[in-house]
Structure 1
Amino acid sequence: MYYDLAELHHVGLVVDDLEESAATLRDLYGADMALFSEARYPCLIDGVPYDTVQRMGLSAGPPFVELIRTVPDSPVWQPRPGIHHLGFVVDDLVAASAELVARGAPLWMSGGHHGVSPGGAVYHRDPLGQVIELLDRSTAERLAARRAVAEADR
């Protein structure tokens, strides 16, 4: 196995209203959400290049709760009831992604326009209908740094 369930990094939720959702998580669960500034995110979705503008937030953790604002016209970042995806940290993103494909969880999205590569993240859809995100340690560290900046800006 190329990833360990103990390496759960985050539970991802896609929401239409980031501020309202962050307030709901704070009020219901005491989750300290830091909201990030918008950022450009190039990616491949089902092999098709997209250039999206995303805005997200991250709770204190790990594991974290990740809020991602809906990206209009994106087949990936649309709200759904409950959890959108589970994100796991892996040591070798390329190998872990290939292993999931080989085991029957096809690649759905990869960061950048060059496919699966170190320093990024990927989404897979498993046969149970779940979305699994794999992110390498450097990506997890970048998210933690963005959270620290967003916290300092509050």
Structure 2
Amino acid sequence: MQLGDQFHLGIVTAGLAATMDALTSVFGYEWGPEVGGPTTVRLPSGDAVLDLRCAFSTSVPRLELVRSIPGTLWEPAPGGIHHVGFWSDDVAADTAELAGNGYVLEAGRNGPDGRPFFTFQRSATGFRIELVSTAARAGLEQCWASPAQRTAPAQRTAETDRP
């Protein structure tokens, strides 16, 4: 994991459209489509199917706005930023490295190959990292591509992508 692998800041919000509108009005952000849906995630309490939905900015620095899910880790953060997202060539190894530095695994999902596809880990001070497999990169990049650049509708599925 390298600093250059950081690719987004995640913000969880109860009002996705209102947050998008506010960030557009104040900063000029533009947005890709809302994507996601029912996704099985591994939580400390066991597997759960959650309706994970988000939208990525087409503007940079890249933001991911995630619809809040009460009673889960996907609730708005007091300071606004919920997580920092990093690409990972080896989610399992990077998860272990973060664990060795005191980060606790909060959620994860395996990909179709059975290997970790994404994880959320939190430090003792509350700093949350999301690791996303580089196998998801081409699909996720469609979420912030301009409509003319999209090769197919940005339709993420639980088996191939993650919010």
> Unaligned stretches of 5+ in structure 1?
none
Does residue 49 (structure 1) correspond to residue 60 (structure 2)? The answer is: no
Percent identity for Structure 1 against Structure 2: 26
How far does residue 25 in structure 1 lie from its aligned partner after superposition? 1.0
Mapped to 1, the partners of 2:17 and 2:124 lie a distance apart of: 33
Matched residue SS, 1:128: coil
Matched residue SS, 2:32: strand
How far does residue 101 in structure 1 lie from its aligned partner after superposition? 0.9
Matched residue SS, 1:53: strand
Work out the number of aligned pairs and report it. Answer: 148
Aligned partner of 2:2: which letter?
Answer: D
Contact 1:35 1:150 (8 Å CA) reproduced: no
Mapped to 2, the partners of 1:92 and 1:79 lie a distance apart of: 28
Which residue of the partner structure matches residue 31 of structure 1?
29
Does residue 139 (structure 1) correspond to residue 133 (structure 2)? The answer is: no
Aligned partner of 1:123: which letter?
Answer: F
Q: Deviations over 1:11-70 (max 9, x none)?
A: 000000111111111111111112324411110122511101122100125641000001
TM-score by length of 1: 0.84
Higher helix share: 1
Which residue of the partner structure matches residue 77 of structure 2?
80
TM-score by length of 2: 0.80
> CA-atom RMSD, angstroms?
2.5
Mapped to 1, the partners of 2:103 and 2:129 lie a distance apart of: 9
Which residue of the partner structure matches residue 110 of structure 1?
108
- Alpha-carbon spacing, 1:47–1:63, altered in 2? closer, same or farther (3 Å): farther
Mapped to 2, the partners of 1:137 and 1:88 lie a distance apart of: 9
- Alpha-carbon spacing, 1:37–1:140, altered in 2? closer, same or farther (3 Å): same
> Unaligned stretches of 5+ in structure 2?
154-163
Mapped to 1, the partners of 2:146 and 2:51 lie a distance apart of: 19
Aligned partner of 1:106: which letter?
Answer: V
Q: Which runs of 4 or more aligned residues in structure 1 lie more than 3 Å from their structure 2 counterparts after TM superposition? A: 146-153
How far does residue 140 in structure 1 lie from its aligned partner after superposition? 2.9
Q: Deviations over 1:120-148 (max 9, x none)?
A: 21000112211111111122322222444
